[in-house]
Each structure stands twice: as structure tokens, then as C-alpha cells.
Amino acid sequence: MANKSKTYNIDAKGKSLGRLASEVATLLRGKREVNYFPHLDPMITVKVSGIDKILLTGKKAVQKIYRHHTGYPGGLKTIGYLELTKKGRGRALKLAVTRMLHKNRLRAKLIKRLIIE
């Protein structure tokens, strides 16, 4: 079985962050393909454009907080959505998609094929 590379182009204008992330994660996994195998890399690239026009409902732009732990005692780090998007406009989407994929070696390969323009 020869895997051919496939590319999907998605416009993020007017779409919700979470719904867009779940759509991208599904495409990256290859679940919409006829030949889906959970342990194989489907060789699919997803390009997302218009990321600055993504929607957040309510006060999420101000109140949404991302947390991670360094592993050291008292190492809980927090960052707000606005600070995260100042570092890079597509970081929130990439983080959401990364956390939706399975936590294994395949995730690193799949997330490299997410291109945010």
C-alpha cells in the first residue's frame, strides 16, 4: 500500500477554536480516509489560514487560562489566551490540536504536518 501525501486547506474565519481544532485533529489522524489504520501515519497535511479571525465566545479571550506543570514542586505555570497569542498567533490552535491527538510517538509526526498561515 503506497501512501500518497494529501493536503487539506481550511479557512478559520468565523470558526470556534475548539470546533476547528477537533476538525483539524480528525483530518490529521486520517479518520476521514478510506484506508484508516490507527497505528499508521496517513501522510496528510492540513493548512489553516485566517487564524486571526478565529472566534472565542463570551469572555474567553480575557479569562481563558492555559496551565502546565514543570514537574518540580510548586511548578504550576499559567498563561492567558491573549499572552499566548502574542507569542504566536497560531499557538492556541496548535496547543488545542496537540492535546486532542493521542499521546504517543505518532503525535509528534502528525503535529509537524499542521501548517498555520
> How does the average pLDDT of the chain come out, rounded?
95
pLDDT range class, residue 18, cuts 50, 70, 90: very high
* pLDDT greater than 60 at residue 1: no
- State the average pLDDT over residues 20-34: 96
**Percent of the chain whose predicted confidence (pLDDT) is above 70:** 97
pLDDT tier, 87 (very low <50, low <70, confident <90, very high otherwise): very high
pLDDT at position 74 is: 97
The predicted model gives 84-105 an average pLDDT of: 96
Domain residue spans in the chain? 6-55+89-116
pLDDT at 64 over 90: yes
How many other CB atoms sit within 10 Å of the CB of residue 82?
Answer: 11
Residue 4 has a pLDDT of 77
| CATH of segment(s) 6-55+89-116 | 3.90.1180.10
pLDDT of amino acid 3: 60
Report how far apart, in Å, the C-alpha atoms of 41 and of each of 6, 8, 17, 77, 99 are.
Answer: 12, 16, 25, 32, 18
